[in-house]
Chain A
Amino acid sequence: MSALAAGLDEPRAGRPQPRWRRIIRTSWRFSRASPLNLVASALVLLVVVAAVLGPLLSPHPPDAMTLTERLRAPSAAHPFGTDDFGRDLLSRVLTGARISVEVALVVLSLSVATGTILGAVAGLAGGIVDEVIMRITDLFLAFPVLILAAAIAATLGGNLTTTMIALAAVYWPWYARLVRGQVLSLREREYVLAARTFGAEPAWLIRVHLLPNVLPLIIVQVSLDVGYVILATSSLSFLGLGAQPPTPEWGAMLTDARAYVRDSWWFATFPGLALAITVFAFNLLGDGLRDWLDPRLRGRA
């Protein structure tokens, strides 16, 4: 699986570059690899910009109601129209970008941290510890994702925080499996065996040998999961188990829009489009990254 890692660590002659320059350079190489990669990068950039600068770009406060301006079609004053409380949809959609990205960040950080620790422990310790951790992992995988998340959200009371906890509970096992698999394959490598023979600390082993190898895998998995997490968050909010009013979460906005879809097309269109494009962007990015990092799947160019 180290083949996957090869894409990232192409050693270069000369002095080491600053990290950010390496990231930009790598991103550029990735984007150039295929037109779809370019689309993915551009869209993800758009979403991230919206998430970061959204509040600055919003023409109106996202929660400001003008009841006399209820359900207005798109116009110069309200490019995306207004919702059932006369709130500016453009501002709400922009604010929604930040919420979705934040939720995805929190959920995946929690999942990656938990999954990596448990996976590494399981892989390194082996034996009964491994057995117990992996069976717990199986257990969580046996739950239907959304139903478990919905049940947790319902138990803890529906809001974005519980949505995040619920989704993290659902996503960590994938990372635990991933990391454990990598640890197991590494354990048998000659250089690791050699290092162990010379009495290397497990922490050192993890930092020097494991992380560089497992990181690309995690990056690919995270980029693939961002889309799912955002979609799952919106689904839960749509079903009334996630974000509560007046939070301009896209799924929650679509719940409100549902009753007006017949006569006010813009209300459901824009939040839905924002959601679809965001999920699409991250899925495309993840898919492209996976292809790009795995030399066996690279184009024939």
Chain B
Amino acid sequence: MGRFLARRLIFSVFVLWGVTVITFFLARVAPGDPARLIAGPHANAAALANVRSLYGLDQPVIAQYVRYLGDLLHGDLGMSFLTRRPVTTDLGTYLPATLELTAISLAFGAAIGIGLGVLAALRHGTAIDGLSRFVAISGLSLPAFWLAMFLQLVVYSRLQLLPFGGRLDTGMTAPPFHTGLMTVDSLLAGQAATFVAAVRHLVLPVFTLSLAEIGLMARVVRTSMLETTGEDYVRTARAKGLRERRVVLRHTLRNALLPAVTVLGLEAALLAGGVFVVETVFAWPGVGRYAYDAIRATDYNAIMGVTVVIAVAYVTINLLVDIAYVALDPRIRYS
């Protein structure tokens, strides 16, 4: 286990380093002049030169990269050219919004998805299995941006059931910052109205974001449930005369959850993509929308900051999943 961990850690560091290399050089060949972006459209040659030297943009690309990496190791992600604030400040502002959105979507999606998958596996080959499959695959297939459009039109504009855009009602002051999660902070501050508003603003984006996850989770749980049903220990349990429900809960589900955990790890990547679209269409002030704006404006440091943070999250989650795997299933041994 120790050696396995060490090996995985080294790989993780390698992967993260590679991510910085790729994004850095990708960003450097992108069209658009960052110096002009910083200095403003009317800056004269002197002002541009000034900006270039100030930000090290007149240095060779390799030197710029070394400088970036050095700063990165000190936790400095540089300045965003677009917002004119340190990228770490921006991420501090936008990351909690994304975390709140994804965590809730993940929990919601996993709960529904696992339920659907278990149901399908138990009623394997019946109409219920077919229906669950239909629902799951529909969830995977609906374009989030299209769905968002109609949710906005029907639920927000026509029926006026739920709010659209932003994290709180217009004009509402955010509760004092503790976690950055509106739902948690409003409860900590004892502001019931703010809490209700925060929850209401979450409903539509969470629903949209979790659809794909429900689909994926349901399919994976169903498949692995069916696979484990055929395993010896389940048969033994059945042979021992245990009641079907117990067999399912005790043995099949528990083992089927292993792959589900793995999928949760992969979900992080999937959700990062989903968040990118969903935040943009729902005007949700998170890192997804921030990344979108940054990419559109070739805001180097912001693009790199977002990518590095997401890669760190992805690598960490995968590491944890691997560890969880070993912990949950003692039969698994890593060489």
Whether A and B touch (Cβ < 8 Å) is answered with yes
> Chain A 79-114, CB within 8 Å of chain B: the 1/0 string?
000000000000000000000000000000000000
Chain B residues, Cβ within 8 Å of A290: 223
CB-based contact A142/B15 at 8 Å:
yes
> Chain B 246-281, CB within 8 Å of chain A: the 1/0 string?
000000000000000000000001101110110010
Interface with B: A57-65, A69-77, A274-282, which one?
A274-282
CB-based contact B11/A280 at 8 Å:
no
CB-based contact B22/A139 at 8 Å:
yes
CB-based contact B273/A144 at 8 Å:
yes
Chain B residues, Cβ within 8 Å of A300: 124-125
* B27 interface residue (CB < 8 Å to A): yes
Interface residues contributed by chain B, number (CB under 8 Å)? 57
CB-based contact B146/A147 at 8 Å:
no
* B53 interface residue (CB < 8 Å to A): no
CB-based contact B141/A239 at 8 Å:
no
In the bound complex, CA of A275 to CA of B227 (Å): 33
Decide yes or no: A135 and B27 within 8 Å by CB, A144-B276, A238-B145 being known contacts: no
* B140 interface residue (CB < 8 Å to A): yes
In the bound complex, CA of A151 to CA of B297 (Å): 11
In the bound complex, CA of A227 to CA of B315 (Å): 26
Interface with B: A152-160, A187-195, A197-205, which one?
A152-160
CB-based contact B27/A151 at 8 Å:
yes
CB-based contact A144/B146 at 8 Å:
no
Decide yes or no: A239 and B269 within 8 Å by CB, A135-B11, A138-B11 being known contacts: no
* A141 interface residue (CB < 8 Å to B): yes
Chain B residues, Cβ within 8 Å of A146: 272-274, 276-277
Q: Which of A141, A151, A262, A275 contacts B295 (CB 8 A)?
A: A151
Chain A residues, Cβ within 8 Å of B143: 231, 234-235, 238, 251, 254, 272, 275-276, 279
Q: Which of B290-335 contact A (CB under 8 A)?
A: 291-292, 295-296, 298, 303, 306-307, 310-311, 314-315
Point out which of B18, B23, B273, B315 has the most chain A C-beta atoms below 10 A from its C-beta.
Answer: B273
Q: Which of A147, A251, A283, A301 contacts B306 (CB 8 A)?
A: A147
CB-based contact B15/A296 at 8 Å:
no
* B9 interface residue (CB < 8 Å to A): no
CB-based contact B296/A231 at 8 Å:
no
Number of A-B residue pairs having CB atoms within 8 Å of each other in the complex: 152
Q: Which residue of A lies closest to B10 (CB)?
A: A135
CB-based contact B138/A280 at 8 Å:
yes
Between A and B, 23 residue pairs with Cβ closer than 8 Å are A36-B130, A135-B11, A139-B18, A142-B18, A142-B19, A143-B19, A144-B269, A144-B276, A150-B292, A151-B30, A151-B307, A231-B143, A239-B280, A239-B292, A251-B145, A254-B143, A254-B146, A268-B149, A276-B141, A279-B142, A280-B137, A280-B141, A284-B133
B residues apposed to A, CB below 8 Å: 11, 14-16, 18-19, 22-23, 26-27, 29-31, 124-125, 130, 133-134, 137-138, 140-146, 149-150, 152-153, 157, 219, 223, 226-227, 230, 269-270, 272-274, 276-277, 280, 291-292, 295-296, 298, 303, 306-307, 310-311, 314-315
- Other than the known A144-B314, A154-B30, A279-B141, what 16 A-B pairs have Cβ atoms closer than 8 Å? A138-B15, A142-B16, A142-B18, A142-B314, A143-B22, A145-B270, A146-B276, A148-B307, A151-B30, A155-B27, A239-B292, A240-B296, A251-B143, A262-B157, A283-B141, A284-B137
